[in-house]
């Protein structure tokens, strides 16, 4: 019994040690959906109106450097489509991420930057999730996060719960 437990322990350590994320270039592609949880007040000159902000679909990519097995720093861009009014925004952002675990592990990340086009303003989007490593350099990511988007000419901040799936390479 002791030998079996020791053998299992050493196998787990070997798998965890072998599956660490390597340093060097790393890229991400994510697609997701945001569910709006806020109302904002639109102000155009003397006209003012309160409205729900619609849900949104998004696609982002970011690229950077894995500084050490648990720290990634990079930058990225994407496109966000808001269903209400067919509004489109292009986020440009910095990206920081940490991964915990081995082949099946957890991650926490934050993207922060600015959106342009139909919606202009600063944003931050923290996310937590699960990463499943397919190989040493390829993984699937499933995450849940929050979007806080400040919008120019609007009294308020857009808030949304984001659900996303992606790959890292």
- The answer to whether the pTM exceeds 0.75 is yes
Kindly write down the DSSP assignment for every residue of 51-109, as one continuous string: EEPPPEEEEEEEEEEEEETTEEEEEEEEEEEETGGGEEEEEEEEEEEEEEESSEEEEEE
Does 2-168 carry CATH code 3.40.50.11540?
no
pLDDT for residue 18:
45
Question: Count of H helices and E strands in the chain?
Answer: 1, 11
Query: Band of the pLDDT at 155, cuts 50, 70, 90?
Result: low
Q: For 131-142, how does the pLDDT look when each residue is reduced to its tens digit (9 = 90+)?
A: 999 987 899 999
- Does residue 102 carry a pLDDT above 90? no
Q: For 9-25, how does the pLDDT look when each residue is reduced to its tens digit (9 = 90+)?
A: 554 444 444 456 889 99
From CA 20, how far away is CA 111, in angstroms rounded?
A: 23
Query: Band of the pLDDT at 146, cuts 50, 70, 90?
Result: very high
């Amino acid at each position: 019994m002791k030998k079996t437990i020791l053998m299992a322990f050493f196998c787990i350590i070997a798998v965890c040690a072998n599956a660490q994320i390597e340093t060097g270039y790393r890229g991400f592609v994510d697609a997701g959906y945001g569910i709006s949880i806020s109302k904002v007040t639109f102000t155009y000159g003397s006209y003012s109106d309160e409205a729900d902000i619609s849900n949104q679909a998004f696609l982002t990519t970011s690229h950077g450097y894995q500084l050490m097995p648990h720290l990634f720093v990079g930058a990225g861009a994407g496109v966000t489509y808001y269903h209400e009014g067919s509004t489109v925004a292009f986020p440009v952002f910095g990206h920081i991420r940490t991964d915990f675990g081995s082949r099946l592990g957890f991650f926490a990340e934050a993207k922060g930057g600015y959106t342009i086009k139909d919606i202009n303003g600063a944003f931050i989007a923290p996310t937590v999730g699960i990463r499943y490593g397919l190989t040493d350099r390829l993984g699937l990511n499933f995450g849940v996060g929050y979007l806080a988007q400040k919008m120019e000419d609007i009294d308020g901040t857009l808030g949304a719960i984001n659900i996303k799936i992606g790959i890292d390479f």
